[in-house]
Structure 1
Amino acid sequence: MQYKASIIIPTYNRPVDLKNCIRSILDQTVLPYELIVIDDGNLSELPLKAECEQAGIKYVYFKKDKPGLTASRNKGIELVTGDIVFFFDDDVVLFPDYIEQILNIYNMSEDVGGVGGAIANHKRLNLVKKIRKILEIPFMVSGVREGRVLPSGFCTSFGTTPFEIKKVTEVDFLSGGVSSFKKEVFNTFKFDAKHFLNYGMGEDKDFSYRVSKAYKLIYTPHARLYHYEAPQMRPNGYREVFMFVVFTHYFFKTHVKKSPVEWLFFFYAFWGYLLSRILVCIFAPKKHNVNKLRGLLGGFYDVIVRGTKTVE
């Protein structure tokens, strides 16, 4: 089948990064049918609009009044007219055959609802992080199979272990900025803008894991891109780990927990995560690592004592 690819790019005040991303889209071996730019900031001009239209790519621009990644993705979905919907962060640069490799997977099976690619420039694990991962595996904080959800509610994210996926593999979830879905998926599923208001910590796992219950999700290491993550767009160490704990608790309660006994898995994993963070602070007592430990304790207090219901 000849699928028409639509691309959604939420963007926030990074015109140079966005231009580099779109240029890599123009260099694809298979061009998309349309490009949808959702502006959460203030773009002064639309990067490479004329070049896209000259190449036959429909260029759609939408300016949002209130920033928010999750809401931007849902707005993009409302505007989509293609068959396969790609989500990219505005700071990625695609390898020339990225879209072609993804569409090849959809052509292999009608049961596939979502396909994700690989980030080629993941940071390698240093010695401290490798020791952490070894400790976290028996505590069910992490596993040896990336893209899997553990009984504890913790997830083994892509690029976070020494065990890189090297072949096309069915997975439990996909990473938001490196994912694609059949348009029909959105007839049933939407990103949860209620629980993920301002920052998309885990909203991609929440959405794609729900989709995985109805469709196959596939990860292919053959579709690759670079992610040039801007440091200023990331939360500080405290906020990052705080949100991670809040999200993991929410994800566990919403998708994994089936009986009261399973709370033991969650708390067992949490204490393992706490232990690993304490060891990091002992062997690498930097302010950043101490702030992450504080964020972990703050997140635990928030979800257990205050009963937080919204990831903000």
Structure 2
Amino acid sequence: MFFSIIIPLYNRPQEIDELLTTLTKQTYTQFEVLVIEDGSVNDAKAIVDKYANTLDVKYFFKPNEGQGFSRNYGFERAKGDYFVVFDSDCLIPEDYLEIVKDYLYEHKLDAYGGPDAAHQSFTPVQKAISYAMTSPFTTGGIRGNKKHIGQFHPRSFNMGVSREVWEKVGGFILTRLGEDIEYSIRIHEHGFKIGLIPAARVFHKRRTSFSQFYKQLHFFGRARINIYKHFPSELKLIHFFPAAFTCGVIFTVLINIFYWPLAFICNFVMLVYFMLIFFHSWQVNKSLKVAFLSIIAAFIQLTAYGLGFIQDFIKRVVFKQQ
């Protein structure tokens, strides 16, 4: 089995350097790497060229169109039996391709996704963000595990599709705003088999600050409404949880200002919820600092997503704006 690894890149030369370093350590070596520079001002050609003797790597520069269409650009030029997509801010364990190859031979998946985790080298903020995006106490917990709700939709930081999927389904038709979910829904609709490979994890850096994390999750909330506009049946009750949480936070603030006798109940519920997050993160990360930061990260994850969701729900669903 030959893999083509597709990596869209936009103004992140340091990240691609770290990712390519991890790929040089893969125990399974039947793969090529295609780096698609998406109109970056700060390009990474010199960095990618450093790996010419240690990897089968190709560098392409194209006008900026977004990550979805950049992946298509890579698909069109890939030689592999299977196309693997990573985000540039990922680190890949050395046995990743070995795990994927063995699993695909045994289970015959047409497309797959894998979970993400925090690497020991990550900063405390990055570890807290990773926790928020994978915790059972946030909506992150429904991604990348066997107990997901409804159909499993691989996420583009760690996913793969067979050449047959590319030839019959095509590539991404959205370049942003939920493009990976939309793509996996079409793969399902064509009758292909999609599954989770639990052991095929990557270390996903995500954002390095809470302000960047807020912007990313606000975008994700808007993306869910974009998916709904294409596939109305894909809007599930669980997707309203961050919006409900956000409304609950606003209600709690108001009740503390205008009717404090009722505030005790609301404050107690919030306290219990955040204490659960604190102690679970402490158990997972073995760090009091990361546990405290996880409360902040979880709060941002839910409220940023909730506000983005509410914004576009009102704009695009209630008022039917395009």
- Relative distance call for 1:171 and 1:30 in structure 2 (3 A) is farther
- Paired amino acid for 2:162: K
Aligned pairs for 1:247-266 (under 5 A) are 247-257=223-233
Aligned to 1:307: 320
- Rounded to whole Å, the distance in 2 between the matches of 1:303 and 1:191 is 25
Aligned to 2:53: 54
- Rounded to whole Å, the distance in 2 between the matches of 1:207 and 1:105 is 22
Aligned to 1:82: 80
- Paired amino acid for 1:299: D
Aligned pairs for 1:141-160 (under 5 A) are 156-158=142-144
CA shift at 1:83, angstroms?
0.8
Q: Is the 8 A contact 2:87 2:157 kept in 1?
A: yes
Aligned to 2:187: 211
CA shift at 1:232, angstroms?
6.8
SS in 2 for 1:31: coil
CA shift at 1:290, angstroms?
6.4
Q: Is the 8 A contact 2:242 2:306 kept in 1?
A: no
Q: 13-22 vs 288-297, which deviates more?
A: 288-297
CA shift at 1:21, angstroms?
0.2
CA shift at 1:184, angstroms?
1.4
Q: Is the 8 A contact 1:240 1:292 kept in 2?
A: yes
| TM-score, scaled relative to structure 2 | 0.69
CA shift at 1:211, angstroms?
1.0
SS in 2 for 1:38: strand
CA shift at 1:19, angstroms?
0.6
Structure 1 residue runs without a partner (length 5+): 134-141, 147-155, 159-163
RMSD: 3.5
Aligned to 1:136: none
Aligned to 1:138: none
Q: Is the 8 A contact 1:246 1:302 kept in 2?
A: no
Q: Is the 8 A contact 1:245 1:296 kept in 2?
A: yes
- Relative distance call for 1:61 and 1:45 in structure 2 (3 A) is closer
- Rounded to whole Å, the distance in 2 between the matches of 1:64 and 1:26 is 25
- Paired amino acid for 2:163: K
Q: Is the 8 A contact 2:5 2:85 kept in 1?
A: yes
- Paired amino acid for 2:207: A
- Paired amino acid for 2:143: S
CA shift at 1:45, angstroms?
3.1
Q: 59-68 vs 291-300, which deviates more?
A: 291-300
SS in 1 for 2:114: strand
Are positions 1:35 and 2:33 aligned together? yes
Higher helix share: 2
Q: Is the 8 A contact 2:113 2:159 kept in 1?
A: yes
CA shift at 1:249, angstroms?
3.2
Q: Is the 8 A contact 1:191 1:207 kept in 2?
A: yes
CA shift at 1:58, angstroms?
2.9
- Post-superposition Cα deviations, 1:28-59, rounded to whole Å, max 9, x if no partner, equal 001243110100213253425353x434x432
- Post-superposition Cα deviations, 1:76-130, rounded to whole Å, max 9, x if no partner, equal 11111111111011111111100111111221144x101222212273359x983
Q: Is the 8 A contact 1:92 1:225 kept in 2?
A: yes
Aligned to 2:244: 275
SS in 1 for 2:47: coil
Aligned to 2:164: 184
- Relative distance call for 1:238 and 1:307 in structure 2 (3 A) is farther
CA shift at 1:252, angstroms?
3.4
CA shift at 1:223, angstroms?
1.7
- Rounded to whole Å, the distance in 2 between the matches of 1:25 and 1:233 is 28
Match of 2:110 among 110, 113, 117: 113
Aligned residue pairs, count: 262
- Rounded to whole Å, the distance in 1 between the matches of 2:209 and 2:131 is 21
Match of 1:172 among 130, 147, 152: 152
Aligned to 1:153: none
- Rounded to whole Å, the distance in 2 between the matches of 1:232 and 1:13 is 17
Aligned to 2:19: 21
- Paired amino acid for 2:181: K
- Rounded to whole Å, the distance in 2 between the matches of 1:36 and 1:221 is 25
Are positions 1:202 and 2:201 aligned together? no
- Relative distance call for 1:20 and 1:233 in structure 2 (3 A) is farther
Q: Is the 8 A contact 1:190 1:207 kept in 2?
A: no
- Rounded to whole Å, the distance in 2 between the matches of 1:35 and 1:15 is 15
Structure 2 residue runs without a partner (length 5+): 119-126, 253-269, 275-295
- Paired amino acid for 2:245: S
CA shift at 1:23, angstroms?
0.7
SS in 2 for 1:96: coil
- Paired amino acid for 1:275: A
CA shift at 1:215, angstroms?
1.5
- Relative distance call for 1:90 and 1:274 in structure 2 (3 A) is closer
CA shift at 1:216, angstroms?
1.3
| TM-score, scaled relative to structure 1 | 0.71
SS in 2 for 1:179: strand
SS in 2 for 1:124: helix
